[in-house]
């Protein structure tokens, strides 16, 4: 099965917590604090794998989490760093933000990309020793790792894209001009997924050509297979439009040509303006008296598009067409690489004035991101740490807000898993 678009959730590892420890050694009095720092959380890393051709591996696994950093230990031992999680993707995968659909990274080069960074490890208590606080009994907790919902979208890296109605000979042309072996049969939608082939024209002259599944009328609105695979010619520098002029399916080649162009324009205005070469295929099957070839030639040349007669099945005109394509590519800019659009928002730790206060009888429940971050750094078994907590609550104005809302002495203040009686 060919899978070319998936949504996944990724989360980098959290940083390890700093340790609260003290140096204990025989004949060493007042060894002092020696708690080590927590280890850094592992990153989420994207890596190009040229042996992958689809996003099939992501169909059954949608959540990826890197390893957390280990907690610090005594004797100033830092925690082990969390291992990075490497996610392999096919070359040409475009990574987008799931919410805004903005491009984060185009995985067209060979460099690894850090999609989410692991959280920093917390400091051990040895960092908080001062001349006036010689026995700190608290440490910093590790920071959480980045997390992101992203869309992986595969856009093939091809110089040339073959487009046309089903059964016009696109796969046959690819098979006779390259080593690609796509499925070929005399029925519509034989090609169910894009095929790539490398065309060697001369020594040092080659290009990559993509056979796109047949486009039908309404493909830009989702009909048939064309809507799903039109994205694979987004990067193509040149479009080769294959038209069946034999009339063996009672189709009009001029009408077919205009309908395909309309679908390209409906999908993307930029795609419709891409340079195009028109190849009239199955010329060996044109019945006597048919004017299909000449009518299509006049129509195409009036639009300024180069026109060539070929028969993919008998290889008539195919070598000449490939040489023309190679020459045209030398005048065109390189394959499109999408520039990043997404700007990572600044981390939001919340603000003290955003705390949510709820009252249930004589119990006041406090919650919010700012409070979560503060609570993670408090050691409620240590007197100095509790005094710091009290000062922070007064400084942020929480007690003032509670008094304005009518809190009474003796009421219970509940902050997550910590409760105390309020006194003015």
- Tens digits of residue pLDDT in 356-369: 888 878 888 888 87
Say how far apart CA 107 and CA 93 lie, in whole Å. Answer: 5
* Distance separating the N- and C-terminal Cα atoms of the chain: 68
Confidence band of 82 (pLDDT split at 50, 70, 90): very high
Burial 36-75 (b: 16+ CB within 10 A, else e): bbbbbbbbbbbebeeeebbbeebeeeeebbbbbbbbbbbe
CB 130: neighbour CB atoms within 10 A? 7
3-state secondary structure at position 148: strand
Q: State percent of the chain over pLDDT 70.
A: 91
Question: Are 368 and 355 contacting, i.e. CB atoms less than 8 angstroms apart?
Answer: yes
176 shares a domain with 121: no
Residue 334 lies in a domain: no
Q: Say what the pLDDT of residue 415 is.
A: 85
Return the structure tokens found at 369.
């991101």
| CA–CA separation, 211 and 345 (whole Å) | 40
> Per DSSP, what are the bridge partners of residue 107?
93
- 342 within domain boundaries: no
DSSP reduced 3-state for 117? coil
Number of domains observed in the structure of the chain? 3
Mean pLDDT to the nearest integer, 263-285: 88
Q: Is 128 helix (H, G, I), strand (E, B) or coil?
A: helix
Q: Cα separations (Å) of 110 from 30, 42, 52, 333?
A: 54, 21, 14, 21
- Can you give the residue range of the structural domain that contains 271? 160-329
- Which residues, 6 or more positions from 403, have their beta carbon under 8 angstroms from its beta carbon? 424
Domain at 29, CATH number: 2.70.210.12
Domain holding 232: CATH number?
A: 3.40.50.300
In a domain, 347, yes or no: no
Structure token pair of residue 257: 């040509």
Domain boundary among 85, 119, 154: 154
171 by Cβ neighbours in 10 Å (0-12 / 13-18 / 19+) ranks as: buried
Say whether both 147 and 172 belong to one domain: no
pTM: 0.74
pLDDT, tens only, 248-262: 878 889 998 998 888
Q: Residue 283's closest CA among 232, 247, 254, 331? A: 247
pLDDT in tens, 27-74: 888 888 999 999 999 999 999 998 887 888 898 899 999 999 999 999
If asked whether residues 227 and 116 sit together in one domain, one would say no
Q: Is residue 336 assigned to a domain?
A: no
Domain boundary among 154, 188, 210: 154
pLDDT score, position 336: 82
- For the segment 125-138, the average pLDDT, to the nearest whole number, is 83
Specify whether 235 is located in the same domain as 369.
no
**What tokens does 40 get?**
């850094």
Yes or no: say if 322 and 206 are a contact pair by the CB < 8 Å rule.
no
DSSP, collapsed to helix, strand or coil, labels residue 7 as strand
pLDDT, tens only, 180-233: 776 665 655 555 667 888 899 888 888 999 888 767 665 455 555 545 667 777
SS3 for 98?
Answer: coil
Same-domain pairing of 321 and 370: no
Q: What is the pLDDT, as a whole number, of residue 112?
A: 95
Same-domain check for residues 150 and 190: no
Mean pLDDT of the region 401-415: 87
Residue 352: band (very low, low, confident or very high) from pLDDT cuts 50, 70, 90: low
Structural domain includes residue 339:
no
Task: Determine the pLDDT at residue 333.
Answer: 87
Same domain (yes/no): 53, 71: yes
Alpha carbon separation from 53 to 1, 173, 179, 196 (Å, rounded): 11, 21, 17, 10
225 token code pair:
């297979």
Determine the pLDDT at residue 348. Answer: 57
Q: Report, in angstroms and rounded to the nearest whole number, the Rg of the chain calculated over CA atoms.
A: 33
The CATH code of the domain that includes 357 is 3.30.300.350
118 contacts 82 by C-beta, under 8 angstroms: yes
Q: Is the pLDDT of residue 383 over 90?
A: no
Distance CA 260, CA 242 (A): 10
User: Both 295 and 386 in a single domain?
Assistant: no
Domain check: are 123 and 259 in the same one? no
Residues 233 and 285 both lie in one domain: yes
pLDDT at 189: 59
User: What integer pLDDT is reported at residue 223 of this predicted model?
Assistant: 52
Three-state DSSP at 110 gives coil
Residue at a domain's end among 102, 137, 154: 154
Diameter over CA atoms, the chain: 111
* 89-119 per-position pLDDT tens digit: 999 999 999 999 999 999 999 999 999 999 9
Same domain, 190 and 54: no
DSSP reduced 3-state for 358: strand
Residue 269, domain member (yes or no): yes
C-alpha span between 165 and 173 (Å, rounded): 14
**Average pLDDT over all residues of the chain:** 86
Residue 273 lies in a domain: yes
Residues present in the chain in total:
424
H-helix or E-strand containing 174? helix 170-177
> Quick one: pLDDT band at residue 155, thresholds 50, 70, 90?
confident
Residue 379 and residue 411 in one domain:
yes
Read off φ and ψ for residue 256, nearest 5 degrees. Answer: -60, -45
The answer to whether position 81 is within a domain reads yes
Mean pLDDT of the region 328-344: 87
Contact status, residue 307 vs residue 297, Cβ threshold 8 Å: yes
3-state secondary structure of 187: coil
Q: Which of 213, 108, 197 is nearest to 159 (CA)?
A: 197
């Amino acid at each position: 099965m060919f899978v070319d678009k998936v949504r996944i959730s990724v989360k980098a590892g959290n940083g390890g917590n700093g340790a609260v420890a003290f140096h204990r050694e025989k004949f060493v009095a007042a060894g002092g604090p020696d708690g080590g720092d927590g280890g850094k959380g592992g990153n989420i890393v994207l890596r190009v794998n040229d042996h992958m051709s689809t996003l099939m591996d992501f169909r059954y696994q949608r959540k990826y989490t890197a390893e957390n950093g280990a907690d610090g230990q005594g004797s100033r031992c830092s925690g082990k760093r969390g291992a990075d999680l490497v996610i392999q993707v096919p070359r040409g995968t475009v990574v987008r933000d799931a919410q805004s659909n903005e491009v984060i990274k185009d995985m067209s080069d060979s460099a690894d990309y850090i999609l989410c960074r692991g959280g920093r490890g917390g400091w051990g208590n040895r960092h908080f020793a001062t001349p006036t606080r010689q026995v700190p009994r608290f440490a910093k907790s590790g920071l959480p790792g980045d997390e992101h919902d992203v869309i992986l979208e595969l856009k093939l890296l091809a110089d040339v894209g073959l487009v046309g109605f089903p059964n016009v000979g696109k796969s046959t042309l690819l098979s006779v001009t390259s080593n690609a072996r796509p499925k070929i049969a005399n029925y519509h939608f034989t090609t169910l997924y894009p095929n790539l082939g490398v065309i060697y024209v001369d020594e040092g002259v080659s290009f990559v050509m993509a056979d796109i599944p047949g486009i039908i009328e309404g493909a830009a609105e989702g009909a048939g297979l064309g809507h799903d695979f039109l994205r694979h010619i987004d990067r193509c520098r040149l479009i080769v439009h294959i038209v069946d002029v034999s009339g063996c399916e009672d189709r009009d080649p001029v009408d077919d040509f205009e309908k395909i162009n309309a679908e390209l324009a409906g999908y993307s205005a930029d795609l419709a303006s891409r340079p195009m070469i028109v190849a009239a295929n199955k010329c060996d099957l044109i019945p006597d008296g048919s004017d299909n070839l000449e009518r299509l030639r006049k129509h195409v040349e009036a639009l300024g598009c180069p026109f060539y007669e070929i028969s993919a099945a008998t290889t008539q005109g195919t070598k000449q067409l490939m040489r023309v394509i190679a020459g045209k590519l030398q005048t065109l800019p390189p394959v499109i690489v999408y520039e990043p659009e997404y700007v990572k928002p600044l981390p939001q730790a919340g603000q003290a004035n955003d705390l949510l206060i709820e009252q249930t009888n004589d119990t006041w429940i406090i919650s919010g991101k700012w409070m979560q971050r503060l609570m993670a750094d408090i050691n409620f078994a240590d007197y100095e740490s509790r005094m710091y907590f009290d000062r922070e609550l007064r400084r942020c104005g929480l007690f003032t807000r509670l008094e304005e809302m009518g809190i009474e002495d003796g009421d219970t203040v509940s902050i997550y898993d910590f409760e105390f009686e309020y006194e003015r």
